[in-house]
């Protein structure tokens, strides 16, 4: 079933045909802005407050003065989600495919120069539509990944913690994956440690212990990553954040990626090396199941 996206710009609804931003918007001209990708399961915005908090933390680094408060942004997300249900005549409590929310805050309209002082007001765009889950096969057989020669940006450059509108490095890395027919590419940081994938965080299991690179190694502080670490803790799975090397990846017993869109997805091949047994591992499976369960109960209700 095709659906119509619900879109608001600075609080006003627009049809998909009329939802436009200026060519002088600095998000468009320079990637000067931040964004979030969020899922709605049923009527719950999964970890809505955590996403909005990260949006504001990203904005702080770029010194983007978001006009709205965190509470107002969350209200706007709820409002556009309700609008989506209304225009598509869908009862969200009758769980279909989840919704996907894209929240964008750009520096706003300025002139052709870089100077952010020329942009008097940030722009908040919220887009809501259905999202399809990835094919079941990914979750059963696991993904094939490659490493990329594109280095994660250094922390003293555009910090990888910032979910900015500049994803050019991620796109270059994704091209490396495409060239090798791989699902994703893995970034190293400037010191040679594993950072993350192009749009997902990475975990390994080694001798029963769950390990993921620390954010300071160039990983986005993923909301799914955070959830998985909490679920590991709750389920008594030893876990820690630690440097991960290429050799650690190759010798891992299990490997998986986490992200809002992908959720928890096993990895069974990296650079032609089989990871573990070559099949989805038991800890990966346990966390996949626990994560799906968590999405059914955790989240900000769209209808108060």
Ligand X SMILES: Cc1ncc(COP(=O)(O)O)c(C=O)c1O
Region binding ligand X by CB under 6 A among candidate stretches 4-12, 217-225, 231-239, 278-286: 217-225
* Positive or negative: CA dihedral 74, 80, 84, 89: positive
225 sits near ligand X (criterion: CB under 6 A): yes
Give CA–CA dist 144/269, Å, rounded. Answer: 5
The contacts of residue 280 (CB under 8 Å, 6+ apart) are 139, 140, 141, 142, 254, 266, 268
223 sits near ligand X (criterion: CB under 6 A): yes
Task: Characterize the bridge pairing of strands 254-259 and 263-270.
Answer: antiparallel
> Among 32, 109, 184, 200, which residue sits at the site for ligand X (rule: CB under 6 A)?
200
Q: Which residues pair with 104 in a beta bridge?
A: 35, 125
Stretch 177-196 residues interacting with ligand X (CB under 6 A):
196
Give CA–CA dist 281/109, Å, rounded. Answer: 49
Region binding ligand X by CB under 6 A among candidate stretches 23-31, 55-63, 72-80, 215-223: 215-223
Query: Closest Cα to residue 177, out of 279, 288, 257, 287?
Result: 257
Min dist CB 14 to ligand X, Å, is 25
Region binding ligand X by CB under 6 A among candidate stretches 22-30, 135-143, 220-228, 235-243: 220-228
259 sits near ligand X (criterion: CB under 6 A): yes
Q: Going residue by residue from 10 to 49, which x/- string records binding to ligand X, judged by CB under 6 A?
A: ---------------------------x------------
> Among 260, 268, 269, 284, which residue sits at the site for ligand X (rule: CB under 6 A)?
260
> Among 8, 212, 258, 284, which residue sits at the site for ligand X (rule: CB under 6 A)?
258
Tokens 């803790």 found at: 233
Give CA–CA dist 145/123, Å, rounded. Answer: 36
Interacting residues toward ligand X by CB under 6 A: 37, 170, 196, 199-201, 220, 222-225, 258-260
């Amino acid at each position: 079933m095709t659906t119509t996206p619900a879109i608001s710009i600075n609080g006003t609804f627009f049809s998909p045909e009329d939802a436009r931003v200026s060519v002088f918007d600095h998000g468009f001209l320079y990637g000067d802005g931040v964004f979030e990708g969020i899922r709605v399961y049923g009527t719950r915005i999964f970890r809505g407050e955590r996403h909005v908090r990260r949006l504001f933390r990203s904005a702080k680094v770029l010194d983007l003065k978001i006009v709205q408060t965190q509470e107002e942004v969350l209200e706007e997300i709820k409002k556009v989600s309700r609008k989506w249900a209304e225009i598509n005549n869908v009862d969200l409590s009758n769980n279909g495919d989840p919704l996907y929310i894209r929240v964008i805050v750009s520096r706003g309209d300025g002139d052709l120069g870089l100077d952010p002082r020329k942009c008097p007001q940030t722009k908040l765009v919220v887009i809501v539509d259905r999202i399809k889950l990835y094919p079941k096969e990914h979750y059963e057989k696991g993904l094939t990944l490659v490493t990329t020669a594109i280095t994660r940006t250094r922390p003293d450059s555009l910090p990888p913690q910032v979910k900015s509108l500049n994803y050019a490095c991620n796109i270059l890395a994704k091209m490396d994956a495409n060239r090798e027919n791989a699902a994703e590419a893995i970034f190293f940081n400037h010191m040679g440690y594993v950072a993350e994938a192009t749009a997902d965080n990475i975990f390994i299991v080694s001798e029963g212990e769950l390990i993921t690179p620390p954010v300071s190694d160039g990983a986005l502080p993923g909301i799914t990553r955070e959830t998985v670490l909490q679920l590991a803790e709750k389920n008594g799975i030893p876990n820690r954040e630690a440097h991960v090397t290429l050799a650690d990846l190759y010798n891992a017993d299990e490997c998986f990626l986490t992200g809002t869109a992908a959720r928890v997805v096993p990895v069974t091949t990296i650079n032609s090396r089989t990871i573990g047994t070559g099949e989805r591992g038991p800890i990966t499976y346990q966390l996949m199941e626990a994560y799906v369960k968590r999405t059914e109960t955790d989240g900000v209700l769209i209808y108060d």
